[in-house]
Structure 1
Amino acid sequence: MQTKILVVDDEQSMREFLAILLEREGYYVAQAENAEVALKLLESDTYDLVVSDVSMPGLNGMALLARIKTTTPETAVLMITAYTTAEQAVEAMKLGAYDYIAKPFKVEEVKVLVKNALEKSSLQKENRRLKHEVQERYSFSGLVGKSKKMREVYDLIEKVANSMANVLVLGESGTGKELAAKAIHYNSPRHDKPFVAVNCGAIPETLMEAELFGHKKGSFTGAIADRAGLFEQAEGGTLFLDEIGEVPLQLQAKLLRVLQEREFRRVGGTSAIKADVRIIAASNRDLEEQVKEGTFREDLFYRLNVVPVLMPPLRERPEDIPPLVEFFYKKFAQFSGTGEIITPCAMKALMSYPFPGNVRELENLIERCVVLGNRVVSEDCLPPQVVNFQAGTVAGGVVDLPEGGMNLEAYLDGIEKRFLLQALSRSGGVKKKAASLLGMTFRSFRYRLAKFGMEDD
């Protein structure tokens, strides 16, 4: 897109001179004989740079500069005058002008100033765009779904984001626990501070303490220099401890001390370091069961579990599959235009499948289809276990155990919920009739609805 410049000067000869000069440099140039005309042009179009004289009848250049910075602060402004003073220059810069140039000026000087002003403006726009993109990405758009269960998650994130309370995000693998943690961070007062994530299960026990708290030079073999740990890297922001259940008991005691005292020591260090860090932990394991087994400290569990956020598995919110398919398709596909992105048969297969790998598994399936060059997600690009699952359940037969294994509980839950939904659909939502269709008592039917969180849907 061609760069647009607006030249504002009450002297026609100066306007035309600047317009010819800048057009030769490849810019699109519009002209205005006074500030009032300039403001009308700025209302109807967007300009990357305004080059304005200071002394003009009516609204002067300084007033125009102030109006521009109020309405379109991203527009760069270069001021020109025949009567330059230090006071004017300071005032112009305070009002937001990129620079100030006095007449008579050299042509090359104008070219350089214009080029630099446009580069700075472009950089500022890009920074704003990236910041907006980050905030938008982690506001809630990374968490897709309009089901009742997901709406409850959004509401809880909004409530907890502005507090300093520790949060424990629970859920099966692939349900989006890290996305929930990022949504909390980027909607909190700490959003412009670091978000540091660590998978506790991926760090060897012998290195975990140094990874979290840092170490002093010579504290162990290989410690050739002082090193800051993740707590220091997350200072002022949020530290996300994924798979917290994998942390060994000895280190759990040190984590508890950080949460209580808000300070820690590096490995081999003697001085305490303050920790202004919010902790969000996550686990796909039953931490309460680990507490009973003695593999997780009860006091640490209660410190972390101030606000629990439960991420629902995908099989419990099948109504979110269509928007998730669209979201991932747009993420991976480079195809332009609108129209069908998934065939009805493929969608039926996805809606019937229990997704033991949850949202991450669905994301991988859609990426697979796109990588294979499919402009429309069809059964042809779906893996056999998805298509065969649907075929087997529809026919009432038994699906062969996939070579990679399967989550039997998730499989059976998926079948059960699918038939509950079908019975409700065929009965027009009348639960007694739906229970009769499935050959069960009304009480048993309600119990099964409650089991899947469908009682109030």
Structure 2
Amino acid sequence: MNQAFHEPSGHPPAQSIAGGADTPSAPGHGHVLLVDDEAAFQRLGGAFLRNLGHEVTLAGDGVQALAAFAQRRPELVLLDLAMPPHMDPERGLELIPRFAPVPVVVLTGHGDHALALRATELGAWDFLTKPIDPDMLRFVVARGLHKARLDAELATLRAGQALDAQGLDDMGLVGQATATVQLRALVRRVAPTQVSVLVLGPTGTGKELVARALHAHSARRTAPFVAIHCGALSAELLESELFGHMKGSFTGAYRDQAGLVEAAHGGTLFLDEVGEMPPPMQVKLLRFLQEGTFVPVGGRAQKRADVRVVAATHRDLEAMVREGSFREDLFYRLKGVVLRTPSLAERPADIPLLATRFLHRVAHNARLSADALAWLMARDWPGNVRELKAVVESAGALLMPPEREVDAPLLQLASGDMATEAPTPGTETSPAPAGTGPLDAALTELETRMVRDTLAAAGGNQSEAARRLGISRVGLVKKLTRLGLR
């Protein structure tokens, strides 16, 4: 079959089945994946498209095509249906759905209109018959790239509309305090973009929730959201987790292992507590952010991944840059847009709404009494929203049917503060000695039961039990001693 280009005819021949608008008057350049087993056609077609200003990636079979697509997603795919190993068009048809949502233009032989129609049923956007006229190729590629960009803009608009319609309450960014409203507005504005984001704020203020909101309301929301804590691993282990490793690269590397960067391709990579990242890894992360490429541990070939990076930390990165413990160039790479999550002390008006939400997760029909709300508003929350959530949910779990109301003593029990009365302005309170009255006995019994049951559910693991109770392990040990459960 002759696969050479015809000479330009001055007008596009009637060999395209895709309808729609005319070619854009000033089509932009784009990235095209050309999949064809003929070296001559690759050379001719690739050169022609590059002369038009497009970036071209070439693939000679389906395996190469899928690998190239996974490494860097193009804006348009030109796919020959008859390729090795068996030159079976059915094999080419199987590839079409795997390139979604990128527009696919199939290349078929003369007279294969039935095959082309089957291709469109499987999701192909258009087809071209060989030999291909240069005018027609220019026309279809321009319209295909135009369609790809319209689809991307539509996805962004829909994400913004969904964000406006449902707000960010489902992401945990709940409240009407000024600081909360401002944060939601910034997330709404930044989410549809591709800019990197640095989320700063105290521990327990919902930095990961912000990252998940940015992902869920972006055009990347159908791709993975992958998170890693940068301070939990040594530099060597962190490099392996992020970039993967090759078999035999270190003791215990029994097989090739893809890293989280590769797993997040097309989606969002969340670097939690990036301020804790060891200095050797800061260099490697900077290289990836600059070039979009990485090399697995023990490997030589570079790989490419398309990810949006959202980083978070409670540390003062600017101070760390001044003292030399964090790279300045990495800081500015991460600092595309800075979002700050407010402490609970900066948004006290949100405490009743947050507490009610948390309570309803464990006890749907329960409510907070007036003294419980007063206690919540009067208490300091050094652990911020995370601490508030732990206390309220623990209190809700302690309700005994048919009880429907959480009061201040129950919250005190759940928090580990055994004072019998909520603090009120101008008064001093002190814990009542154990066993001085019916209320103290009931509270002690509830606390004993809660600690014993939580320890049993945690399999006797004190650290895990302390986490579930919302207290420190030292605090749990003290409770065990005081309650006689050692």
Change (3 A) 1:164 1:176: same
Q: 1:295 to 1:189 in 2, by over 3 A?
A: same
1:373-388 mapped onto 2 (5 Å cutoff): 373=399, 375-383=404-412
The match for 1:277 is: 307
Is the contact made by 2:421 and 2:429 (CA closer than 8 Å) also made in structure 1?
Answer: no
User: Which of 329, 333, 356 lines up with 2:382 in the alignment?
Assistant: 356
Instruction: After TM superposition, list the pairs within 5 Å mapping 1:366-445 onto structure 2.
Output: 366-373=392-399, 375-383=404-412, 394-395=425-426
- Pick closer, same or farther for the CA change 1:147–1:321 going to 2, 3 Å: same
The secondary structure found in structure 2 opposite 1:279 is: strand
Equivalent residues of 1:170, 1:311 under 8 A apart: yes
Runs of at least 5 residues in structure 1 that lack an aligned partner in the other structure: 1-89, 95-131, 406-457
Number of the residue aligned with 2:327: 297
Question: Residues of 2 paired with 1:359 and 1:288: CA distance?
Answer: 25
Evaluate the alpha carbon distance shift between residue 225 and residue 168 of structure 1 in structure 2; reply closer, same or farther with a 3 A threshold: same
Query: Residues 392 and 187 from structure 1, CA distance in 2 versus in 1: closer, same or farther, beyond 3 angstroms?
Result: same
Alignment of 1:291-370 (within 5 A): 291-335=321-365, 341-370=367-396
In the aligned structure 2, how far is the partner of 1:396 from the partner of 1:252? 52
For residues 389 and 317 of structure 1, the distance between their equivalents in structure 2, rounded to whole angstroms, comes to 27
Structure-2 change in CA distance of 1:266 and 1:327 (3 Å): same
Q: Distance in 1 between matches of 2:190 and 2:183?
A: 11
Range with bigger deviation, 269-278 or 135-144: 135-144
The two structures have a TM-score, normalised by structure 1, of 0.55
2:235 aligned to which of 189, 202, 205: 205
Mapped partners of 1:398, 1:260: distance in 2: 58
CA-CA distance at 1:355 after TM superposition: 0.6
Q: Partners in 2 of 1:250 and 1:404 — Cα distance?
A: 32
| Pair 1:174-2:200 in alignment | no
Aligned equivalent of 2:259, options 229, 233, 238:
229
1:206 is displaced (CA, Å) by 3.0
Q: Which is helix-richer, 1 or 2?
A: 1
Q: Is the 8 A contact 1:393 1:399 kept in 2?
A: no
Q: How far is 1:326 from its partner?
A: 1.6
Moved over 4 A (4+): 135-141, 384-393, 396-400
SS state at 2:405 partner: coil
C-alpha distance after superposition, 1:88-136 (max 9, x if no partner):
xx9xxx9xxxxxxxxxxxxxxxxxxxxxxxxxxxxxxxxxxxxx9xx96
Is the CA contact 1:392–1:399 (under 8 Å) kept in the aligned structure 2? no
Does the Cα contact within 8 Å between 2:408 and 2:421 map onto a contact in 1? no
Residues 390, 317 of structure 1: alpha-carbon distance in 2 compared, 3 angstrom cutoff = farther
> How many percent of aligned residue pairs carry the same amino acid?
46
Post-superposition offset of 1:140? 4.8
Query: Residues 379 and 139 from structure 1, CA distance in 2 versus in 1: closer, same or farther, beyond 3 angstroms?
Result: closer
CA-atom RMSD in angstroms = 3.1
Name the counterpart of 2:291: 261
Q: What does residue range 56-135 of structure 1 map to in structure 2 within 5 Å?
A: none
User: C-alpha displacement at 1:313, in angstroms?
Assistant: 0.3
Deviation at 1:373, TM superposition (A): 1.9
Question: Does the 8 Å contact 2:171/2:209 carry over to 1?
Answer: no
TM superposition shift of 1:138 = 6.4
List alignment gaps of at least 5 residues for structure 2. 1-116, 122-161, 432-470, 474-486
Per-residue deviation, 1:203:
2.2
Cα distance in 2, alignment partners of residues 220 and 356 from structure 1: 42
> Counterpart of 1:380 in structure 2: which amino acid?
P
SS of alignment partner, residue 338 of structure 2:
strand
Secondary structure at the residue paired with 2:257?
Answer: coil
Q: Which amino acid aligns with 2:219?
A: P
1:24-80 Cα shifts (integer Å, max 9, x gaps):
xxxxxxxxxxxxxxxxxxxxxxxxxxxxxxxxxxxxxxxxxxxxxxxxxxxxxxxxx
How far is 1:387 from its partner?
7.8
| One-letter code aligned to 2:405 | V
> 2: distance between equivalents of 1:389 and 1:146?
32
**Closer, same or farther in 2 for the Cα pair 1:138/1:149, shift >3 Å?**
closer
SS at match of 2:406: coil
1:393 Cα deviation from its structure 2 partner: 6.8
What amino acid does structure 1 have at the position aligned with 2:360?
K
CA drift at 1:320:
0.2
AA of the residue aligned to 1:155: A
CA distance in 2, matches of 1:232, 1:382: 45
- Number of equivalences: 272
Q: Does 1:196 align with 2:216?
A: no
The CA deviation at 1:141 is 4.2
SS in 2 for 1:394: coil
TM-score after normalising by structure 2: 0.52
- Spell out the pairing of 1:37-48 with structure 2 (5 A cutoff): none
Q: Which amino acid aligns with 1:362?
A: L
Q: Give the residue type in structure 2 aligned to 1:322.
A: P
Q: What's the counterpart of residue 99 of structure 2?
A: none
After superposition, the Cα gap between the structure-2 partners of 1:395 and 1:389, relative to the gap in structure 1 and judged at 3 Å, is farther
Q: What is the deviation of 1:159? A: 1.0
